[in-house]
């Protein structure tokens, strides 16, 4: 007579913990938040200091280039390191190194040249942290949680931008009028981030696959990538003799991964170039000081937050190509509109329903500024749609043993693509004005997006 089945055989498995209740993921979010607050605050401070010393868009673009070019070399090395060395250790050491750079600036601040030196050093250590964190994420969540995890990760980055750009740097520089205080706070945040990275816990380097399928035939477990029927990249690709080519070849092997990487490259390149133009845009187009102008543009973070709430769900339900097309189309159209807000406000003010736009002028706050605030909100939303969709494809389809190199390779692609345009845009902005340059940028990105989606 067979034994009666145990009650446990009928009991339902406990539901998985919500992502933010999972300690490894929560600590990764803490680590990302503190380090990004510090980095965003320092980036803004460096831009303000250079703009105050030079007053030209070319030199702020040159500063952005100093933050970008070192990523080309450091990014590749960081990717290989993340696939060979414990990732928590890399993230912790990278943050401690950035804290040391901050302390060095406090001890010996120097002149304008030292600002570029600090930017280069931060750019060298930054990729080690970002690549390690990006490689940890798919190791501590399931495939079914990737879209949601990426959305939360983007939300953490958006919140860090608000705190760093709109709160920490303006408040510290206004209260103390000294960059040293801000660099000291940033150093402390980097140390906290390093401690949180260590506390994430063990990080695996393999991903469980469904049983009964040969490796070459395994598909994505869910449809978070929005691409059906394509195989996941083969982990054997890790054995290629040219280690520095592994990330590139892994991306080229899977068309869905390569398209997603190009999308991330385009959207990242756009923001790198805009980083050099925004200070001049705030001054010349909006007619505001940079500190106030940053606050005017913060609705973009609200749009980003809303987009991230929606993007994770959309990435699970809509084809990736459709989602990216909608996101990129909206982003480029809104960027084009943002370039000419004053002209658009004057045009709309000629109609009865919008006549109040021409009558607004409260302490330099006019209709153009209000229109800019209205446009940057959906701009942040569309950025979230593109970023989450593309990042989910990379995390879902790339083997864990290659995550570091693929993430690093994508970062290098963005840095390389933006290296010359960022200087050209700055010089052109000083010559013909920032508005035409932003319009050219929007049209160029739109054309590149269409080519990528049709390829």
Highest mean pLDDT among 91-100, 327-336, 386-395, 415-424: 91-100
Query: Each residue of 366-388: b (16+ CB within 10 Å) or e?
Result: bbbbbbbbebbbbbbbbbbbbbb
Tokens describing residue 216: 């070459």
Q: Report d(CA 392, CA 397) in Å as an integer.
A: 8
**pTM of the predicted model over 0.75:** no
pLDDT above 80 (res 182): yes
What's the confidence (pLDDT) of residue 394?
Answer: 80
Which CA distances in Å does 144 have to 222, 316, 395, 399? 6, 9, 11, 15
Average pLDDT, rounded, for the chain = 78
Q: Report d(CA 184, CA 199) in Å as an integer.
A: 23
120 pLDDT band, cuts 50/70/90, is: very high
Provide the residue count of the chain: 455
What's the confidence (pLDDT) of residue 105?
Answer: 92
Least confident of 90-99, 330-339, 360-369: 360-369
Express as a percent the part of the chain with pLDDT over 70: 85
pLDDT above 90 (res 191): yes
- Judge whether 66 and 123 are in contact, CB under 8 Å: yes
Q: Which residue has the higher pLDDT, 219 or 262?
A: 262
Which H helix or E strand runs over 366?
strand 365-366
Q: Which residue has the higher pLDDT, 86 or 32?
A: 32
Instruction: Sketch the domain layout of the chain as residue ranges.
Output: 24-202+247-454
Least confident of 113-127, 268-282, 426-440: 268-282
Mean pLDDT value of segment 278-298: 81
228 pLDDT band, cuts 50/70/90, is: very low
Please report the DSSP string for 384-440 in residue order.
HHHHHHHHHHHHHHS-HHHHHHHHHHHHHHHHHHHHHHHHHHHHHHHHH-HHHHHHH
pLDDT above 60 (res 14): no
Least confident of 91-100, 175-184, 186-195: 175-184
Least confident of 99-113, 344-358, 364-378: 344-358
What's the confidence (pLDDT) of residue 393?
Answer: 81
pLDDT above 70 (res 206): no
Mean pLDDT value of segment 390-418: 79
Q: Which residue has the higher pLDDT, 232 or 354?
A: 354
What's the confidence (pLDDT) of residue 35?
Answer: 95
pLDDT above 80 (res 276): no
Sequence-distant (6+) residues with CB within 8 A of 317 are none
What's the confidence (pLDDT) of residue 187?
Answer: 96
What's the confidence (pLDDT) of residue 134?
Answer: 81
What's the confidence (pLDDT) of residue 302?
Answer: 82
Express as a percent the part of the chain with pLDDT over 90: 15
210 pLDDT band, cuts 50/70/90, is: very low
pLDDT above 70 (res 353): yes
- Judge whether 377 and 229 are in contact, CB under 8 Å: no
pLDDT above 90 (res 186): yes
pLDDT above 80 (res 216): no
- In tens, the pLDDT along 126-145 reads 988 988 888 788 888 887 77
Q: Which residue has the higher pLDDT, 13 or 305?
A: 305
What's the confidence (pLDDT) of residue 190?
Answer: 97
Question: For domain 24-202+247-454, which CATH number applies: 2.60.40.2580, 1.20.1250.20, 1.10.1060.10, 3.30.479.10?
Answer: 1.20.1250.20
What's the confidence (pLDDT) of residue 116?
Answer: 92
């Amino acid at each position: 007579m067979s034994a009666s089945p145990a009650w446990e055989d009928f009991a339902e498995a406990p539901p998985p913990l919500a992502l933010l209740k999972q300690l490894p993921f929560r600590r990764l979010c803490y680590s990302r938040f503190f380090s990004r607050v510090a980095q965003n605050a320092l980036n803004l401070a460096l831009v303000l200091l250079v703009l105050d010393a030079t007053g030209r868009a070319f030199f702020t673009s040159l500063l952005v280039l100093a933050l970008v070019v070192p990523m080309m070399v450091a990014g590749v090395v960081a990717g290989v390191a993340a696939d060979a060395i414990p990732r928590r250790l890399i993230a912790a050491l990278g943050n401690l190194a950035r804290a040391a750079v901050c302390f060095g600036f406090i001890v010996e601040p120097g002149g304008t040249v030292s600002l570029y030196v600090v930017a280069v050093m931060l750019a060298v250590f930054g990729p080690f942290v970002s690549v390690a964190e990006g490689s940890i994420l798919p190791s501590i969540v399931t495939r079914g949680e990737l879209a949601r995890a990426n959305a939360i990760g983007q939300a953490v980055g958006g919140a860090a931008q608000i705190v760093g750009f709109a709160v920490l740097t303006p408040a510290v520089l206004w209260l103390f009028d000294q960059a040293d205080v801000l660099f000291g706070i940033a150093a402390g945040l980097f140390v906290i981030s390093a401690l949180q990275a260590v506390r994430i816990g063990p990080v695996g380097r393999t991903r469980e696959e469904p049983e009964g399928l040969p490796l070459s035939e395994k598909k994505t477990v869910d449809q978070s990538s929005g691409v059906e029927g394509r195989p996941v990249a083969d982990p054997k690709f890790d054995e290629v003799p040219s280690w520095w080519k592994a990330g590139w070849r892994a991306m080229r092997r899977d068309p869905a991964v390569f398209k997603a990487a190009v999308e991330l490259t385009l959207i990242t390149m756009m923001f790198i170039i805009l980083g050099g133009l925004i200070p001049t845009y705030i001054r010349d187009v909006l007619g505001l000081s940079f500190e106030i102008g940053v606050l005017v543009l913060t609705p973009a973070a609200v749009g980003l937050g809303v987009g991230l709430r929606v993007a994770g769900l959309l990435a699970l339900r809509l084809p990736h190509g459709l989602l990216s097309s909608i996101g990129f189309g909206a982003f480029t159209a809104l960027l084009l509109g943002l370039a000419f807000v004053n002209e658009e406000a004057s045009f709309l003010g000629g109609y009865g329903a919008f006549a109040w736009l021409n009558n607004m002028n409260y302490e330099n706050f006019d209709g153009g500024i209000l229109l800019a605030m209205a446009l940057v909100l959906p701009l942040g939303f569309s950025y979230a749609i593109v970023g989450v969709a593309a990042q989910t494809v990379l995390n879902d389809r790339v083997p864990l043993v290659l995550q570091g190199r693929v993430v690093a390779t994508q970062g290098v692609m963005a840095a390389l693509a933006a290296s010359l345009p960022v200087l050209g845009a700055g010089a052109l902005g000083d010559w013909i004005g920032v508005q035409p340059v932003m319009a050219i940028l929007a049209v160029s990105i739109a054309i590149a997006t269409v080519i990528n989606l049709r390829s």
